[in-house]
A and B are shown apart, each in its own frame.
Chain A
Amino acid sequence: MQHTGIATLDQLINLLTRLPGIGRKTAQRLAMFVLKSDPDYAQQLAQAVLNVKSEIHFCKRCFNIAEDDLCSICADPKRDVSKICVVEDIVDIMAIEEAHVYHGLYHVLGGAISPLAGTMPEDLHIRELIERVKSEAVKEILMALNPSTEGEATMIYISRLLKDSGVTLTRLASGVPFGSHLEYLDSATIGRAIDSRREL
């Protein structure tokens, strides 16, 4: 590993390297950019980083990001409280919100079950979800987990826990993306879409 020999610069580079998707070369470039930029920029960047940690935390109810106890979605009286959409990660909420079709609440698990990655059910916010189903007026749980074997395992695990709860369990449909052309789709996607076709 190369060092600049200047301890403060090396420290910044090392910290930047820990960010996802940032290698040593990129970290060096970013650090040099900060070094050459005017002092105001460095001040604002540092403050913004601190603010993210001090002013944003997780929603007590759904584990989305929030500025208060509850996130903006949980605090919104217009949301449909009879539905909870279960997602792996906060970014999934952002993606679903972009679509403007879902108006219920969310629940962020914080990942999917993966023994190889050391993530077991108790490491996720599954217990809290079960509590919510018991204490809130929930009628439907929509599982919007990633279509991976880990996402699938998590879905199976949760649906077994909620089997006798009386709520309706649904999952995202998988198949042909809207606006695509059949001729350009990969055949596995088309195959699964045909397997899970539905009546008109």
Chain B
Amino acid sequence: MLVKTLKLQNFRNIAKAVIEFDEKINIITGKNGQGKTSVLESLYYLALTKSFREKADKVVLQHNKEFFNIEGTFLSDRKEELTLRLYFSDIEGKHLFFNKKKVNRFSEMIGRLPVILLSLEDLSLTYGVPQYRRRFLDILLSQVNPLYLQALQYYKRNIMQRNQILSLISEGTEKIDALFPWDVQLIQYGSEIIFNRLQFVRFMNDHLQDNYRQISEEDEKIEVRYKTFLKNADDQITIDSIQEQYESKLSATYRDDIKRQNTLIGPHRDDLLFFKDGFLLKSYGSQGENKTFLIALKFVESAYLKKKNNEIPIFLLDDIFGELDTERIRHLLSYLIREGQTFVTTTLKEKFNTLHLKEENFIKIKNGRMVH
């Protein structure tokens, strides 16, 4: 997918802007607070109908303005011209238009404009709590598999209902039998989720190593493992065998569940573990290694989306070049140029000076305006 032009109106501190992009590398420079990230944020908005920085749409609306508008023109890998427009006003709400036609269900559009975002917050993927890594899996798998998303929604609702039953049982107002209808569904949807995650872990292991080496040029062994309550959980496991183990494990732990009034096993408790040369990356890896790993992981994400959607995603790299030296940046950019179109924000333009880029590759933003 290629972004050709972007039109912004009243978006954060950008009152009005029309930007044309290079087909490969776009480096958006400027001091902090000028509106660099807003450009990435608006592209992300078109792709996923929300911000990666804020929960409320209102926040990105420029002060004293009634609406904001984001409009992009795109060229798909099959050479179709596409337009996406997102309009928000406090009174009228949020509206999305695909090729000028109003989109009624936003979920139908997700995945249409595949994006990969890498920002400093992604460091929590390696350093942070397991929740971040489950979120990573869930967002990615939901984008390519609508049945995964559905199973996930049912599963989460089921957990809430089951936990309520657990509380009632521990208070003595319900019998253990009441768990049955929820356990049946928990096993069904939970197994579907785990099965899909395991298939993806296999995909990660097939690709991560190469990606990591491309950026770091060092020969380290990178591995991902899926941490779960199941035994022999790998991509060879069948869904029947997952269900079987799930059922017996659930009946072995329900007493603890009741005591804690919480469901203690299942995909909502599982985790991803990242290893470098057999050691846990988050405990033993340096900042730079973690960042390199994250970038490699983002490339896996890209390859996965490409394989499933037949569309190369666009890359949004938000201010991540802080600890990377020019050599690593060079590797990274040469890799990205082969992949597709990339958008980079940075305050450190000088890091890119020796990389033989053209004038068209740089976009400078000052006070919400493009300056040449």
Contacts and interface: CB of A to CB of B under 8 A. Distances in A.
Contacts of B180: 156-157, 160
Contact of A187 (B146, B161, B164): B146
B203 interface: no
B105 A153 contact: no
Contacts of A195: 147
A120 B108 CA distance: 35
Interface in B88-107: 105, 107
B272 interface: no
Contact of A188 (B150, B157, B168): B150
A154 interface: yes
Nearest to B157: A149
Interface in A152-198: 152-154, 156-157, 160, 186-188, 191-192, 195
Contacts of B355: none
A77 interface: no
B105 A149 contact: no
Nearest to B164: A115
Given A120-B174, A149-B158, A188 B149 contact: yes
Nearest to B184: A156
Contacts of B146: 186-188, 191
A186 B107 contact: yes
Given A153-B185, A156-B184, A156-B185, A116 B161 contact: yes
Interface of A: 113-116, 120-121, 148-150, 152-154, 156-157, 160, 186-188, 191-192, 195
28 contacts: A115-B164, A115-B165, A115-B168, A115-B178, A116-B161, A116-B164, A120-B174, A148-B157, A149-B154, A149-B157, A149-B158, A152-B181, A153-B161, A153-B181, A154-B181, A156-B180, A156-B184, A157-B180, A186-B107, A186-B108, A188-B146, A188-B149, A188-B150, A191-B145, A191-B146, A191-B147, A192-B147, A195-B147
